[in-house]
Copies of this chain bind each other. A is one copy, B any other.
């Protein structure tokens, strides 16, 4: 019998064990896994007697769409990559290196098995490509639900260093950024409001890629810690919003250099023109870049990957804040998130 157009195998066709058998071989235990998947829990090395931990969830329609308005089909590979990347970024933002990831998947019965296999591949490729060479894919959990949801929890090692918190910035420090600013937001705008994905030229597709498969600069976190960074955080909710958090935790004002912001905006000029948007709004308000914001002592040399973006000032009248060229930063960027 010839089946010319078989229906794709779905999650509902398999038992949990059968589905796991299709995913686990795609994952590889890293050098930090003392015990990998398959028992009640995994065991990871924590060589300096401490472990860093962070968790993050992506949910269908809230955090990604299976198909975007511009026609881009969001793949399992994208979801797996981003699950790894955004969690690895949180570990990076402590000045730590990742030692392991566990993943919990909630899957509707109709999810194609191939989509889930693709997710496992994206997860593994992100860990490898982003340079998290000590990170083990240590295990996870599978369950059924009405919508796709992926929670990754990543563990990390400080390698004997002190964690670099949001609260250590001091007036007089240099403010610096690693990674892009606004690219992921420009990519999101293209997905939501742009012309057909198929017709986009490569530079614009690259912005979509940075939204779907962010590239956190994983060497920059430990490098910042080793260079004496006094404060460090992941840029996941936009420069202004995250900057205000760092400013509040440190009791300071962050003053951003308008010329540097303009430089970042210029890299997004083409997307801005296409969409009739001001790229500066993406630079200041756009989330999900997963770069780093750091404060360094004024005399410190910025480590590889960081570029200056402003300076740390005393809080005006005790009120923490973010300013641009000395003027209070109140841009429409904020409205992307406000209720």
Measured between alpha carbons, how far is A194 from B145 in the docked complex, in Å?
25
**In the complex, what's the smallest C-beta–C-beta distance from A134 to chain B, in angstroms?**
14
Q: Are B62 and A50 in contact (CB under 8 A)?
A: no
- With contacts A57-B141, A163-B43 taken as known, whether A49 is within 8 angstroms of B49 at the C-beta atoms is yes
Measured between beta carbons, the chain B residues less than 8 angstroms from A143 are 57-59, 62-63
Q: Are A153 and B153 in contact (CB under 8 A)?
A: yes
CB under 8 Å from chain B, chain A span 188-210: none
Query: Is A329 at the interface (CB under 8 A from chain B)?
Result: no
Q: Are B35 and A145 in contact (CB under 8 A)?
A: no
Q: Are B53 and A42 in contact (CB under 8 A)?
A: yes
Measured between beta carbons, the chain B residues less than 8 angstroms from A165 are 35, 39
Q: Are A52 and B43 in contact (CB under 8 A)?
A: yes
Across the interface, name the chain B residue whose C-beta is closest to A236.
B40
Measured between alpha carbons, how far is A103 from B54 in the docked complex, in Å?
9
Query: Is A75 at the interface (CB under 8 A from chain B)?
Result: no
Measured between beta carbons, the chain B residues less than 8 angstroms from A153 are 53, 55, 102, 104, 151, 153
CB under 8 Å from chain B, chain A span 59-87: 59-63
Measured between beta carbons, the chain B residues less than 8 angstroms from A106 are 57, 59, 62, 149
Q: Which of B39, B49, B93, B147 contacts A41 (CB 8 A)?
A: B93
Measured between alpha carbons, how far is A268 from B153 in the docked complex, in Å?
38
Measured between alpha carbons, how far is A158 from B57 in the docked complex, in Å?
28
**In the complex, what's the smallest C-beta–C-beta distance from A167 to chain B, in angstroms?**
8
Q: Are B155 and A40 in contact (CB under 8 A)?
A: no
Q: Which of B48, B57, B102 contacts A53 (CB 8 A)?
A: B102
- With contacts A34-B50, A51-B51, A147-B146 taken as known, whether A41 is within 8 angstroms of B90 at the C-beta atoms is yes
Query: Is A156 at the interface (CB under 8 A from chain B)?
Result: yes
**In the complex, what's the smallest C-beta–C-beta distance from A257 to chain B, in angstroms?**
24
Q: Are B51 and A141 in contact (CB under 8 A)?
A: no
Measured between alpha carbons, how far is A67 from B145 in the docked complex, in Å?
17
Query: Is A185 at the interface (CB under 8 A from chain B)?
Result: no
CB under 8 Å from chain B, chain A span 319-338: 338
Query: Is A253 at the interface (CB under 8 A from chain B)?
Result: no
Measured between alpha carbons, how far is A48 from B141 in the docked complex, in Å?
26
Interface residues of A (CB under 8 A from B): 15, 34-35, 38-63, 90-91, 93-94, 96, 100, 102-104, 106, 138-141, 143-147, 149, 151, 153, 155-156, 158, 163, 165-167, 232-234, 249, 338-339
Q: Which 7 A-B pairs have the closest CB atoms?
A: A46-B46, A41-B54, A59-B145, A40-B93, A151-B151, A153-B153, A57-B104
